[in-house]
């Protein structure tokens, strides 16, 4: 297995792990961040998409498939950005990392997947980790709502592979363009809240989010996840959580206590176990 692909995957996750810190530290609001990131990404990739005439042969069914992908992705970003702003970068990253358990449950709900006893135990451990990292529930405190928003974001993120599978015959670039373009429409519904960056630092942070954390990270991850075995990409992806927690601790001075570390470890262990169980089931 080429070491180069593993390094590409690690670099992609490292780039992704900057997202919570950059979003939390910028003064731009959730809508402005989303519109800026998606618009810059589309400006860069659209010329190639139109040059290759990738959209001219789309059927109505495929176009609807891209619409569903973009709508889901837009809601995923909205809820994730809100979670970061309200619950904090570390807690939001932990909440979204539960997507592996949600993916199993969505497969069971919509594709008739039979969940095994070991998978049920892993999901239970994941829930236990969520309980450990959860703040005391108080609906008047933003952190509680932010954590729930992060869990909703994880469910939406888990739905993405299922939606992509419905139009898997389309090139990756076409699906990426559709994901970004229709997600932008979701954010444009809230355009009245859009604000231009106020400071040079805001411009720098938003450009980093658009170029490094969107185009670079997503592009590298698509390549790595396509060519590496699924088990390896699943394992590498969960580097995201400790990297995001370390970044939030050093750059944002967020409190990362033992209970949060233990809860995050349980969530990561549970989801990595689910990935391993999936791999073993496919091999058998």
pLDDT of residue 238: 80
Closest CA to 156 of 225, 79, 226: 79
Local confidence band at 126 (pLDDT 50, 70, 90 cut-offs): confident
Mean pLDDT computed over every residue of the chain: 86
DSSP helix/strand/coil, 189: coil
Taking the C-alpha atoms of residue 272 and residue 77, their distance in angstroms, rounded to an integer, is 23
Query: Cβ(101)–Cβ(129) under 8 Å?
Result: no
Helix spans in 97-190 (H): 99-111, 117-133, 142-166, 172-188
pLDDT of residue 116: 87
Is the model's pLDDT at 139 over the cut of 60?
A: no
Show the tokens assigned to 171: 């090139």
Show the tokens assigned to 40: 């810059």
pLDDT of residue 109: 85
Helix axis angle, 172-188 to 60-87, nearest 10°: 60
Query: Cβ(243)–Cβ(13) under 8 Å?
Result: yes
Tallying the residues shown for the chain, one arrives at 284
Taking the C-alpha atoms of residue 277 and residue 283, their distance in angstroms, rounded to an integer, is 10
Query: Cβ(244)–Cβ(21) under 8 Å?
Result: yes
Lowest mean pLDDT among 47-61, 102-116, 135-149, 151-165: 135-149
pLDDT digits (tens, 9 = 90+) for 196-244: 988 899 999 999 998 888 888 877 876 777 677 666 776 777 888 888 8
pLDDT of residue 48: 93
pLDDT digits (tens, 9 = 90+) for 50-101: 999 999 889 999 999 999 999 999 999 999 999 999 988 888 888 888 888 8
Read off the pTM.
0.87
Cβ neighbors of 83 (< 8 A, separation 6 or more) are: 91, 92, 95, 96, 146, 147, 149, 150, 153
Show the tokens assigned to 266: 């349980």
With a pLDDT cut of 70, the percent of the chain lying above it is 93
Query: Of 16-20, 79-83, 102-106, which one has max mean pLDDT?
Result: 79-83
Taking the C-alpha atoms of residue 181 and residue 189, their distance in angstroms, rounded to an integer, is 13
Average pLDDT over residues 22-47: 93
Specify the residue for token string 């993916």.
103
């Amino acid at each position: 297995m080429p070491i180069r692909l593993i390094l590409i995957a690690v670099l992609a996750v490292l780039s992704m792990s900057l997202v919570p810190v950059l979003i939390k530290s910028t003064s731009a609001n959730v809508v402005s961040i989303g519109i800026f990131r998606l618009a810059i990404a589309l400006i860069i990739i659209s010329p190639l998409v139109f040059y290759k005439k990738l959209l001219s042969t789309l059927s109505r069914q495929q176009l609807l498939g891209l619409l569903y992908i973009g709508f889901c992705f837009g809601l995923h970003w909205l809820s994730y950005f809100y979670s970061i702003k309200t619950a904090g970068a570390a807690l939001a990253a932990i909440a979204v990392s539960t997507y592996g358990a949600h993916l199993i449950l969505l497969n069971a709900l919509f594709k008739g997947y039979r969940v095994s006893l070991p998978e049920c135990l892993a999901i239970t451990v994941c829930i236990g980790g969520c309980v450990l990292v959860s703040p005391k529930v108080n609906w008047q405190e933003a952190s509680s709502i932010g954590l729930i928003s992060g869990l909703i974001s994880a469910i939406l993120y888990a739905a993405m592979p299922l939606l992509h599978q419905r139009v898997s015959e389309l090139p990756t670039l076409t699906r990426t363009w559709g994901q970004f373009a229709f997600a932008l429409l979701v954010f444009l519904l809230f355009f009245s809240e859009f604000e231009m960056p106020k400071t040079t630092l805001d411009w720098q942070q938003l450009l980093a989010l658009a170029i490094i954390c969107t185009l670079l990270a997503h592009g590298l991850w698509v390549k790595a996840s396509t060519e590496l075995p699924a088990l390896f990409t699943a394992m590498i992806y969960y580097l995201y959580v400790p990297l995001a927690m370390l970044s939030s601790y050093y750059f944002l001075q967020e409190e990362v206590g033992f209970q949060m570390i233990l809860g995050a470890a349980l969530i990561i262990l549970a989801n990595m176990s689910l990935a391993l169980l999936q791999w073993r089931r496919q091999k058998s």
